[in-house]
Structure 1
Amino acid sequence: MALGVAALLAVAACWRPLAPTAPLGVRLAVSLILAFGVLVTGLLSSLRGRGKPEQLALYGFLVLGLDGLGQWVEPWGWPVWPLMALMVAAVAVAESPPVALGVAALAAAMAVADAASSSFQAWKGAVAASLGYAVLVLGVHQALAGEKRRLGAALAELARLRHGIDQLDDGDAGSPPRLSITALTLRQVSEDGRRARQLDRAAELDEALDRLVRLARVSLGAHAAMYFDVDRQRETAYLRAADGPANLVRGSVMRLGEDPFAFVLDRRAAFYATDFKRLLWSLPYYKGEVRVGSLLAVPVWTAEVVAGVLVADMLEIQALTGGAHELLESFAAMAADVILRTRASLSREEVGQEFKAVYVVSRDLAALTERAPVNRLLLRSARQLVPLEAAAVVMEDEAETRYVVEAGHGWAHELEGREVALTERTWAAWVLRSGNDPYLLDNVAGHENRMPILVLDEGSDRAESLLAVPLKASTRTLGALMLMGRRGAFDAAASRVLGVLANQAAAALSTIQMKDRIKDMAMRDGLTGLYNRRAFDDQLRHALGREDRQKGRLGLVLLDIDHFKKLNDTFGHPAGDAVLRHTAHVVEHHLRRADEAARFGGEEFALILPHTEEAGAVRLAERVQAAVEKAQLVFEGARLSVTVSLGVAVWPSDGADEEALIAVADRALYAAKQAGRNRVVSASALPRAPSSAAP
């Protein structure tokens, strides 16, 4: 509505109703309308729950007000365009470019209308003002964007330096840090632990293969027996185990494109050569020339894949015939069995370590009863699993419209408490919206959809690699664990463990949320949804303690619905319940973000107003009183007229503790009722001697 009135006045302003030639009555009326519009829209835009139309209407009334001022001072030749430019610049700083350009367009339209009133004699000034306002908006926007980028880069560098210092300051350098059982268990699952286990199993496999090729050489009576690992990615064969003469070069590397490997891999069959000097006298795994007469190579199969090649050679021609082929194949089967058993053993060990790590952390998670410790444990576990540059836990709000960076490590610690809409283009918002399984992005900067990770102004190229693990409970995504590190920092084992831990943490957080919800329900009045009397007492006690520490002020308002008993007797208790709910809704709509409302008892309500002097408390009480009176409640076809009486007291001037403050506010409420109801009375207006009458 306010925006529509502003639009109508903008159209009317084109006829210059405030020009010196206009009638004085018209000029005064329009001026009063503009002043009233500025005040009303300013008040509406300051209330909690304000919408965009009220803010736009306020900007419109301000532009029209400045334009009207220019018409008033026109006889004296005082220009108002500097004030208009300042206002356009202020809007450009506070609002998005489309809103600022709209304000600039309105200001330009007023300049054109002013030029039109003088038959466009001052058209150059109007054109200059129109272009100037637009250029001003674009210039301010570009300057802000540049400053935002510079600030983001500076914050990024500062966070990186701080993180580096934190890493250097690691306690007593003379003694190793004492690790908890949880840390030691998680470290076993990390890349270093996994590599250590792989090395242990590889050493065991080497010993087993050495024994096998030694046995194969003896059984065949061969000159040498060798096992080669096949690496198809590098196109090489690596001599892993061998038994033979001293000039056999262990660790030799051969190309898969050469025989015998090319034949075995292409034909997937055994290779035999004899009296083939060009191949057999220049075998690369011998140091110098060895005149090999016969060579037999058979594939080693593991799960339908050639994992290696078992080779035997002899100096004699036409050797390794008869049953040698079958015997060498049996040794190849034994080699495959050794490889598969070693792989299975390593896999069981990996699973065991992962299960052990998950069990230890899950046990700790189950014992936590608050969100912050759960987030800290999750971050600490992630740091012990993988090498991190930064990490954060982001959580969705109940309305699923935004997320909050609740806990951070590394450079993400600087962003704790930041709120971001789920519609923004960040990786955190994308993960929360998609709710997919753990998502690994090993090249953040090179991805086709370049986005910041946590917040829009975090700075560019903060991380090379990103692992995002959703925190999912049932079908809902509660949040996500965002891990940032260098390229290749996140391996499959750690990702699996983090996925399980994230599910455990999500279950713990869901339980905590449910308990908090039940606790909040116990603190709420079932009819109005406001705090009940018990919760009010706790809130007031905590609020007074906080104001006492901060040397502040606190307002208390007691509100009573007028003639409530008569209304109940006339229309019945369901109508009384409707009036209570209606009044609670109106009260809540006019509270500020930090204010709290409670149902004090019966038809009485109480408002706690932190950081509020007497004048502010009285203003808010008067707004509530007027809003209740103005709002009409229709119940079963009957229009109910509801009014309220309010008493205001301020701590510490009106009462040093909760009981005294409530008593004084109650006296002020009684005075409001005695004075005729439907009004606000402040405790400062009461006589100092307390009244003996009961309300």
Structure 2
Amino acid sequence: MLGLETAFDAAIKAVRALVPADFVAISMIEEDSHRTVRAEGVSAEKLQGRTFPLHQGLVGQAMKFRSTLPDRGEYRGSIPVFCSDHLFNGYRSLLIIPLQREEGEALGALTVAARKPGLFTRSLREILEVIAGQVAIKIDLAQSHEQINKLATTDGLTGLTNHRAFQHGFDVMLSRARRRKSSLCLLLCDVDSFKGINDTFGHPFGDKVLRGVAATMADTARLVDLVARYGGEEFAIVLEDSEEGGGRQLGERIRQRVESMEFLHEGEAVTVSLSLGLSVFPDDGRDKGELISRADKALYQAKCRGRNRSVAWSELARENLPRKEMEGGLLPQSPPA
């Protein structure tokens, strides 16, 4: 799951890969102030963690007016950057780009500076503004995830997001996909023949299998994906900005890695497999209940077709299966939308 620190790290890395910057910082709004949550470069240690009045300096003004400053990316050292007593001596190129939620509200700002004059051409500025927009989305998502985590969100056995948090997180991500008119992919996964594993080897061993499968899912998924224990031996993954092809690729990587795992029981290796069902917003459904129901039916067909495979709802629709076969499912009941 994406955390704020990870989002900050990714932002700094993306900027440094594009620009020969001598200084990069991220500021976040906190009530009536803004705090430098991450700073790298010359004199960064003097700014890291410091809090400044909300609308002081160029950073505060960029957030207040939601506009990139200075206008031409040039800096002559006469205007405070973070506060009235802080100047950027020696820097000649400066851009402060507001980080905004999609509805326009400012979250913070991205500051990039260099000693070299004339660094920020119009095209480079436009690229940095695109990066800032992506950073803002990731930070917004990370903040949503952290809010989720405040609710007793972790499954005690696997360490994944629990069912309750999954439902809330799915709502947040689906709402974002609607606003952005983007795709979203849901994977429902089930450990094959898990009852037999418990009956044969005992419940402690079954718990060991669930922890191992969960760890593989978490390690394989992207940081921005929501990975959850749905219940029992069932897991769910929500992938933002992902169509069926991307969801299938991730599902197959997870399935193959689980298939290659070995769990030791009294000195003997035991292997397990995973079946997966997939649905996509908006192609396969426009609300949460419909997407879960269709991913569940695809998962049921994966079981019926021999287990250890992935099946997408779109496949079932193309095959035009009899209604009785299409109504199968593994979940006891689909959660409300």
TM-score, normalised by the number of residues in structure 2: 0.59
**How many Å separate the matches in 2 of 1:619 and 1:406?**
44
User: SS where residue 32 of structure 2 aligns?
Assistant: helix
2:176 aligns with 546
**How many Å separate the matches in 1 of 2:178 and 2:285?**
13
Asked if residue 657 in structure 1 is aligned to residue 287 in structure 2, the reply is: yes
Q: CA deviation at 1:413?
A: 4.2
Q: What are the within-5 Å matches in structure 2 for residues 195-594 of structure 1?
A: 375-378=30-33, 392-394=35-37, 409-413=56-60, 457-459=112-114, 519-520=149-150, 522-594=152-224
1:180 aligns with none
User: SS where residue 569 of structure 1 aligns?
Assistant: helix
**How many Å separate the matches in 2 of 1:664 and 1:556?**
10
CA distance change for structure 1 residues 629 and 95 in 2, over 3 Å: closer, same or farther? farther
User: SS where residue 566 of structure 1 aligns?
Assistant: helix
TM-score, normalised by the number of residues in structure 1: 0.30
1:185 aligns with none
1:614 aligns with 244
Asked if residue 644 in structure 1 is aligned to residue 299 in structure 2, the reply is: no
Q: CA deviation at 1:578?
A: 0.8
Q: CA deviation at 1:638?
A: 3.3
Q: CA deviation at 1:640?
A: 2.0
Task: Give, as a single letter, the amino acid of the residue that structure 2 aligns with 1:675.
Answer: R
Task: Give, as a single letter, the amino acid of the residue that structure 1 aligns with 2:58.
Answer: W
The structure 1 residue matched to 2:253, chosen from 623, 628, 635, is 623
User: SS where residue 580 of structure 1 aligns?
Assistant: helix
Task: Give, as a single letter, the amino acid of the residue that structure 1 aligns with 2:59.
Answer: A
Task: Specify which structure has the bigger relative contact order, considering alpha-carbon pairs within 8 angstroms and separated by 6 or more residues.
Answer: 2
1:677 aligns with 307
Superposition RMSD on alpha carbons, in Å? 4.0
CA distance change for structure 1 residues 522 and 442 in 2, over 3 Å: closer, same or farther? closer
Contact 1:395 1:405 in 2 (8 A): no
**How many Å separate the matches in 2 of 1:406 and 1:670?**
54
User: SS where residue 577 of structure 1 aligns?
Assistant: helix
**How many Å separate the matches in 2 of 1:558 and 1:627?**
16
CA distance change for structure 1 residues 530 and 405 in 2, over 3 Å: closer, same or farther? farther
CA distance change for structure 1 residues 444 and 148 in 2, over 3 Å: closer, same or farther? closer
User: SS where residue 624 of structure 1 aligns?
Assistant: helix
CA distance change for structure 1 residues 569 and 457 in 2, over 3 Å: closer, same or farther? same
**How many Å separate the matches in 1 of 2:221 and 2:193?**
24
Q: What are the within-5 Å matches in structure 2 for residues 154-193 of structure 1?
A: none
Contact 1:578 1:635 in 2 (8 A): no
**How many Å separate the matches in 2 of 1:445 and 1:531?**
47
Contact 1:533 1:598 in 2 (8 A): yes
Q: What are the within-5 Å matches in structure 2 for residues 66-85 of structure 1?
A: none
CA distance change for structure 1 residues 554 and 631 in 2, over 3 Å: closer, same or farther? same
**How many Å separate the matches in 2 of 1:632 and 1:406?**
51
Task: Give, as a single letter, the amino acid of the residue that structure 1 aligns with 2:57.
Answer: G
2:139 aligns with none
Q: CA deviation at 1:455?
A: 9.3
**How many Å separate the matches in 1 of 2:273 and 2:147?**
33
Contact 1:405 1:415 in 2 (8 A): no
Structure having the larger proportion of residues in strand: 2
Contact 2:186 2:279 in 1 (8 A): yes
CA distance change for structure 1 residues 575 and 555 in 2, over 3 Å: closer, same or farther? same
Q: CA deviation at 1:411?
A: 2.5
Structure having the larger proportion of residues in helix: 1
Asked if residue 601 in structure 1 is aligned to residue 231 in structure 2, the reply is: yes
CA distance change for structure 1 residues 95 and 677 in 2, over 3 Å: closer, same or farther? same
Task: Give, as a single letter, the amino acid of the residue that structure 2 aligns with 1:412.
Answer: V
1:76 aligns with none
Task: Give, as a single letter, the amino acid of the residue that structure 2 aligns with 1:578.
Answer: K
User: SS where residue 458 of structure 1 aligns?
Assistant: strand
Contact 1:590 1:623 in 2 (8 A): yes
**How many Å separate the matches in 1 of 2:190 and 2:244?**
19
Q: CA deviation at 1:414?
A: 8.2
1:298 aligns with none
1:666 aligns with 296
Contact 2:148 2:169 in 1 (8 A): no
**How many Å separate the matches in 1 of 2:86 and 2:246?**
55
Q: CA deviation at 1:620?
A: 1.1
**How many Å separate the matches in 1 of 2:229 and 2:261?**
20
Q: Structure 1: any 5+ residue segments left out of the alignment? A: 1-47, 49-93, 97-143, 156-371, 380-391, 397-402, 417-440, 447-453, 461-512
The one-character-per-residue Cα deviations of 1:498-540 (angstroms, maximum 9, x if unpaired) are xxxxxxxxxxxxxxx9xx6995360111111111111111111
CA distance change for structure 1 residues 565 and 378 in 2, over 3 Å: closer, same or farther? same
Q: Which has the larger radius of gyration?
A: 1
Task: Give, as a single letter, the amino acid of the residue that structure 2 aligns with 1:522.
Answer: A
Q: CA deviation at 1:579?
A: 0.7
User: SS where residue 525 of structure 1 aligns?
Assistant: coil
Contact 2:190 2:276 in 1 (8 A): yes
